A = this chain, B = another copy of it.
């Protein structure tokens, strides 16, 4: 492993986009953002996506809250993003690692009950046994009790949004124990008019 490239920074991040499938998508996004306290993360939005960085608790807390506050409108919304830890390179935003672990959004998020269909994929970088790490990560998900199915290039989950976020966070953190640089792509969908996926709808 190249120690210079793969730094020891423990900063977590997520680059994500929120897509409300409606004419007033801007209003849905802005309203959701107003409901979320982002003061414990570094945050920057451009014309394609938003990036949040900081302690892992706060990164997951903020992303989940933005998704839930948009989904509770009843609009079909999707959140698509990549979580990352250990990415070689800069350390901008490291100051946010000194925040405490009190979640700023869980209190308002926890009573929002939304069913989510989602697909995620783990990418443990730089190690030859990455497939074993991926299998372990998916098994972590299975232990959480959400519906799990393998599809090409991803794992499909169906369930309550809070359970799903706990599941993918566990899978991500457990993979990070075995690889210093891990990326996890997520594609979360709420209020979709498509029929729900049923057990047995495998590959």
Residues of A within 8 A of B (CB): 1-2, 5, 13, 15, 17, 19-23, 25-26, 44, 46-49, 51, 53, 76, 78, 80, 82, 84, 87-88, 90, 92, 117-119, 121, 123, 125-131, 151-154, 156, 183, 185, 187, 189, 192-197, 201, 203
Contact = CB atoms under 8 A, between A and B. Distances in A.
Contact of A84 (B15, B17, B153, B156): B153
16 contacts: A15-B119, A17-B80, A25-B76, A47-B192, A47-B194, A47-B195, A48-B119, A48-B197, A51-B153, A80-B80, A80-B187, A84-B152, A90-B203, A92-B152, A121-B183, A123-B123
Contacts of A13: 152-153
A2 B151 CA distance: 22
B19 A82 contact: no
A117 to B, nearest CB: 5
Given A15-B154, A187-B17, A197-B46, A125 B130 contact: yes
A46 B153 contact: no
Nearest to A157: B48
Contact of A201 (B46, B153, B187): B46
Contacts of A152: 13, 15, 44, 51, 53, 84, 87, 90, 92
B121 A5 contact: no
A33 B194 CA distance: 16
A149 to B, nearest CB: 9
Contacts of A88: 131
A51 B151 contact: yes
Q: Which of A13, A48, A121, A130 has the most CB of B within 10 A?
A: A48
Contact of A126 (B47, B130, B183): B130
A189 B19 CA distance: 11
A141 to B, nearest CB: 15
